[in-house]
Amino acid sequence: MTGQTQSAQTGRQMTGAKMVVQALKDQGVDTVFGYPGGAVLPIYDELFQQNDIRHVLVRHEQGAIHAAEGYARSTGKPGVAIVTSGPGATNAVTGLTDALLDSIPIVVLSGQVPTFMIGSDAFQEADTVGITRPCTKHNWLVKETDRLGQTLHEAFHVATAGRPGPVLVDIPKDVQFATGSYGGKETRSTRYAPPVKGDRAAIEALARAMETAKRPVFYTGGGVINSGPEASKLLRELVAATGFPITSTLMGLGAYPASGEQWLGMLGMHGLYEANMAMHGCDLLICIGARFDDRITGRIDAFSPNSIRAHIDIDPSSLNKVIRTDIPIIGDVAHVLKDLLEAWSAGGRKTDREALAQWQAQIGEWRSKDCLSFRNSDKVIKPQYALQRLEALTKDRDRYITTEVGQHQMWAAQYLGFEDPNRWMTSGGLGTMGYGFPASVGVQMAHPDSLVINVAGEASWLMNMQEMGTAVQYRLPVKQFILNNERLGMVRQWQELLHGERYSQSWSEALPDFVKLAEAFGAKGILCKDPADLDDAIMEMLDYDGPVIFDCLVEKHENCFPMIPSGKAHNEMLMGEVSTAHAIEAGGAVLV
């Protein structure tokens, strides 16, 4: 290619390893997460000899990827991780898949055995590009040092352009040692360029539909967050201009403020009653940057049966994948919302106020059910209460929340309020237990002065607890808020609902003493089991300048409600304290 020849002639000469560090600097990378090994030693040697890029030594490669995800989601910039060949790369697979399903831009650099040994079953050799092909947006094996620079810049471009996602660049050790030509950031080929502007006619059609809608609802998702802060700003303007109610997926929390007038709360399997009923009853469904995931839709053939559906998404494959769309708009959320707002105000359009008032009254009725109410206790800490107190004591702070996966995650989504985008990091699509702790490490690296809390369950947390070493080494004051029920709570809940209360393997008989565990790592441990002590204990956690493991012993058999049982529709939610026997029928039992 001509670009390549040019760079070969005009670029600076340097080793592949130096080129890696130079390319990261040229991309404005300030932090990388990684773990050294034989096949990346030349890169680590170069990292040692510079001060622009901070390297965070994680304790397991999965932790590096989740930390990079946390960094990316809380900053909007791509996260970067470096792993060695073989086991280093295979340990990255869960994190890559997690980032793929949640559309998180991360760039992973993996070492590889030298090119002349590839295919010989060399020590720590794995077919990394083969293994990671289905769990990355794109990946590359670089066999010539001359191509390394442009490939790295292309990798950053692909990770962040269009629908973001993880990419991996596999770099053999001889390519790191050899000298080649580096032509800077401009040398990448610019062919990959997903369109960002939506079709004008479709946007006009949506504006017309909004004018006549009697029961409209915005259904927003992670695409709004991924589109950048401008998208959240425009979304708020659009909601203010129309007065339409708005709900969001787990991934989209914070794009519209939880304190906002039109906020319905999260929708979906453990979403709020008013949000799901609004989805079911609406006549215009405006999906913005969400993808009709099975956690959202419930039973497909009963999903929002009487609505016109508009769908704004940057990925054409998201449209009509699950739910038939009437007004498809392919484009970046911020670009489309800007055009939509223009189309809305330029035409001097007005909503049907009378119908909207009726719709709001209906929603008010649903809201009055108070679906998040729970029976509190003065003897044992209810997990919902713990989160209510955490919310009350931290909501006015500069706060970032990560979570693990399970009941605590859903309770956190229900009981914590998010006012801004990029403040909520949780594993939505893949549901990766062990995500939250390393993600909190990545968030804290990006925001050293902010309060970073990982809301966890004890089982998830143990999956990546080795990262305590990282937190202590880098003096990261991450707060591990563990709702400890000594159970795999969500598994237990499903066994209760679906498997005749046979609790197969869903509890742990040998949990560590979390306070001693914290102390063993050189951190602080706090145990709290009495609701009366909870506020003081949370304050003690917040006041401590360093990592804390907060072992909050909670009610062991609490279930997470409301809930749409598998195979049921939005208007068939289970509320708390009701009989849950036979809630899931045979058809729903096969669903996850």
Partner 1 sequence: MLNIKEGSTSHSAYNLRSTFSDVEERHTLAVIVENEPGVLARVIGLFSGRGYNIESLTVAEIDHTGHMSRITLVTSGTPQVIEQIKAQLGRIVPVHEVHDLTVEGPTVERELALFKVRGEGEHRVEALRLADIFRANVVDSTLESFVFEITGTPDKIDAFADLMRPLGLTELARTGVAALSRGPEARV
Give the residue numbers marked as catalytic: 61, 123-124, 173, 490
Q: Which stretch binds partner 1 (CB under 8 A): 5-13, 111-119, 202-210, 485-493?
A: 202-210
Residues 6+ apart with CB under 8 A from 374: 382, 384, 385, 558, 561, 576
347 binds partner 1 (CB under 8 A): no
Q: Find the shortest distance in angstroms from Cβ 552 to partner 1.
A: 40
Give the gyration radius of the chain's Cα atoms. 25
Closest to partner 1 by CB, 210 or 296: 210
Q: Which stretch binds partner 1 (CB under 8 A): 264-272, 326-334, 350-358, 522-530?
A: 326-334
- Contacting residue, 23, 58, 81, 202, with partner 1 by CB under 8 A: 202
Q: Please, what sign has the CA dihedral across residues 44, 99, 253, 527?
A: negative
Closest to partner 1 by CB, 61 or 170: 170
- The rounded distance, in Å, linking the Cα atoms of 203 and 311 is 10
Smallest CA-to-CA distance from 482 within 468, 494, 493 is with 468
- Contacting residue, 50, 120, 201, 539, with partner 1 by CB under 8 A: 201
Burial class, 116, CB count within 10 angstroms (exposed 0-12 / middle 13-18 / buried 19+): exposed
327 binds partner 1 (CB under 8 A): yes
191 binds partner 1 (CB under 8 A): yes
The site that binds partner 1 (CB under 8 A) totals a number of residues, namely 32
- Contacting residue, 53, 87, 90, 138, with partner 1 by CB under 8 A: 138
Residues 530, 381 contacting (CB under 8 angstroms): yes
Supply 264's token pair. 């319905």
Q: Which stretch binds partner 1 (CB under 8 A): 15-23, 42-50, 89-97, 314-322?
A: 314-322
Report the Cα–Cα distance between both ends of the chain, in Å, rounded. Answer: 48
213 binds partner 1 (CB under 8 A): no
Q: Find the shortest distance in angstroms from Cβ 591 to partner 1.
A: 17
- Contacting residue, 192, 345, 373, 522, with partner 1 by CB under 8 A: 192
107 binds partner 1 (CB under 8 A): no
- Contact track, partner 1, 143-182, x by CB under 8 A: ---------------x----x-------------------
Residues 6+ apart with CB under 8 A from 574: 561, 562, 563, 564, 565, 580, 583
* Residue 207 dihedral angles phi and psi, to the nearest 5°: -60, -40
CA 159 to chain centre: 15
Phi-psi group of 91: left, alpha or beta (phi > 0 → left; psi -120 to 50 → alpha; rest → beta): alpha
Closest to partner 1 by CB, 171 or 390: 171
Q: Which stretch binds partner 1 (CB under 8 A): 99-107, 129-137, 262-270, 396-404?
A: 129-137
Closest to partner 1 by CB, 237 or 315: 315
- The rounded distance, in Å, linking the Cα atoms of 282 and 178 is 62
Q: What does 448-488 look like in DSSP terms, one character per residue?
A: TTSEEEEEEEHHHHHHTGGGHHHHHHTT---EEEEEE-SB-
One-letter amino acid of 30? D
308 binds partner 1 (CB under 8 A): yes
397 binds partner 1 (CB under 8 A): no
Torsion of CA 27, 30, 34, 40, to 10 degrees: 50
- Contacting residue, 52, 116, 261, 324, with partner 1 by CB under 8 A: 324
Residues interacting with partner 1, by CB under 8 A? 1, 129-130, 133-134, 137-138, 141, 158, 163, 191-192, 195, 199, 201-202, 205, 208-209, 308, 315-317, 319-321, 324, 326-330
